[in-house]
Amino acid sequence: MASRFGLSVALTTPFDAAGRIALPLMTAHARACLDAGCSSVTLFGTTGEGASVGTAERQPVLDAMLAAGIPADQLVAGVLVDAAEDAAEQCRQALQRGARNILLAPPSYFKNVGDDGLFGWFAAVFTALGPLARGMLLYNIPSVTMVQLSLDLIGRLRKAYPGVIAGVKDSGGNWAYSEALLKAHGDLIILIGDERHLAPAVRIGGQGAISGMANFAAGELRAIVESGRDEARVEGFVLELLRHPVIPAVKAMVAHQTGDERWLTVRPPLEPVASQERQQLGAAYDRLFATQAA
């Protein structure tokens, strides 16, 4: 049996002044997150601005990670696109390189779609992949996709594609749903995206998290994943992050922690966090986390 999933960093993606992916900085940060306690690296997820990273850009990132000595079985690739053909191609790139898992979100452009339509979309992706299809983590993030993956849909996909569906990442922030998901499909890898719900999920069978906060607080999050104990500092800082656009805020925190302002750059349509807000975030982090380190 495969080992417990653990903590995966939802790696933020650095860009240079020309808007290109800064590969050396990205691979160094991935290695630093692994050294800090993460068990894997999730590329191109929500925190990694994956919806803004094109298909052609992904191959060099995957190859750079492997060239930097990060094993393929410590890589997860996010796929956040609408066309099943594009989703299959992005999955294929990662799976052919041996990636551990694919974090696959449902299409988000069309709203108010039903389970039959969603089933058909996932089926088209898996059919296009053929024998490559494996390790799929279904991504429930209704605040972005406007789709909550129903427990019935997850069950249908498991039954139709045995061995393909590995688990679910739940970033819905709805504890009632998370609890029901664990009860219905707890034999799968169930991961939590909202760090406030991580500890209670671990206590009832959750296997870990794909976390944006792991970019700068991996040690604290790993402790939660391993113990299932509540961590007031983590819960408090989630509230601080949510006062700002989360993706630029995570980058601001990496810049705060590393002293490297290259991390502040985001791709349009996102905009960086303003200087005063960055200072407020950094001060909140220092209040919560530096105390224990002292």
Mark the binding-site residues, compressed into ranges.
Answer: 47, 210
Q: Quickly list DSSP for 109-153.
A: SS-S--HHHHHHHHHHHHHHHGGG---EEEEE-HHHHS----HHH
Extract the tokens encoding 126: 């898996």
Give 27-39 as a 3 state SS string: HHHHHHHHHCCCC
Q: Among 109, 139, 159, 251, which one carries the catalytic annotation?
A: 139
Active-site annotation holds for 139: yes
Question: Binding site for pyruvate, residues?
Answer: 47, 210
Say if residues 117 and 129 touch (Cβ distance below 8 Å): no
Active-site annotation holds for 109: no
- From CA 47, how far away is CA 221, in angstroms rounded? 16
Burial degree of 10 (CB within 10 A; 0-12, 13-18, 19+): buried
* Residue 49 neighbours by CB under 8 Å, 6+ apart: 12, 13, 247, 266, 267, 270
Per the document, the length of the chain is 294
Cis omega (within 30 of 0) for bond into 269: yes
Catalytic positions are 139, 169
